[in-house]
Structure 1
Amino acid sequence: MKLDRIQINQDRMNGQPCIRNLRLTVRRVIELVALYPDRQELQREFPELENEDIRQALLYAASSLDDRVIELQPYALAA
């Protein structure tokens, strides 16, 4: 998995994973993707953010999630 645009530097943004040398964290990029469903509008607002930046931020976030199955207790409705 190639994530050459994701950088972690303890002296930048409190060590949070960032996109290239931008002050945009991966978390913020994921949030922006959710807030701007129209990718063209997102790129108008953040012209420094490239398609590959967004793709790698999504890939980084997805790889950070755990794929475990959690068994839930049955839910009983009150009578």
Structure 2
Amino acid sequence: MSELLSRITIEDVKCGGRPCIRGMRIRVQDVLDMLAGGASAEQILGDYPYLEPDDIRACLAYAAATIGDTVVIAA
């Protein structure tokens, strides 16, 4: 998991310090939003050819690590 998480970078000068993929200006949130919206990994990779399959997995791993034991109550 740490190998995947090493793909996620946070730099104050890029995207307002939000987590991005490998120092690029594509945020973890962007990828997660696309996946939540129904885009497949293949579609995302087609639209963003500079991304790699492990980048998408890294976004998911980052989200999972971030929420940890957080409880979400759905309305």
Q: What does the per-residue CA deviation read over 1:12-39, in whole Å, with 9 as the maximum and x for residues that have no partner?
A: 1111010002101111111112234332
Identify the match of residue 30 of structure 1 among 8, 29, 32: 32
Identify the match of residue 14 of structure 1 among 16, 23, 46: 16
- Computing the radius of gyration from Cα coordinates, the structure with the larger value is 1
Checking the alignment, whether the CA contact within 8 Å between 2:41 and 2:56 is kept in structure 1 is no
Q: What does the per-residue CA deviation read over 1:3-60, in whole Å, with 9 as the maximum and x for residues that have no partner?
A: 1110011111111010002101111111112234332222111111211000011000
CA RMSD of aligned residues (A): 2.1
Alignment of 1:34-49 (within 5 A): 34-49=36-51
- Determine which structure has the larger helix proportion and give its number: 2
Q: Which residue of 2 aligns with 1:53?
A: 55
Q: State the shift of 1:61 in Å.
A: 0.7
Distance in 1 (alpha carbons) for counterparts of 2:55 and 2:39: 16
Structure 1 residues 46, 66: CA separation in 2 closer, same or farther (over 3 Å shift)?
A: same
AA of the residue aligned to 1:12: K
Structure 1 residues 9, 34: CA separation in 2 closer, same or farther (over 3 Å shift)?
A: same
Distance in 1 (alpha carbons) for counterparts of 2:40 and 2:71: 33
Superposition TM-score, scaled by structure 2 size: 0.78
Superposition TM-score, scaled by structure 1 size: 0.75
Q: State the shift of 1:66 in Å.
A: 4.0
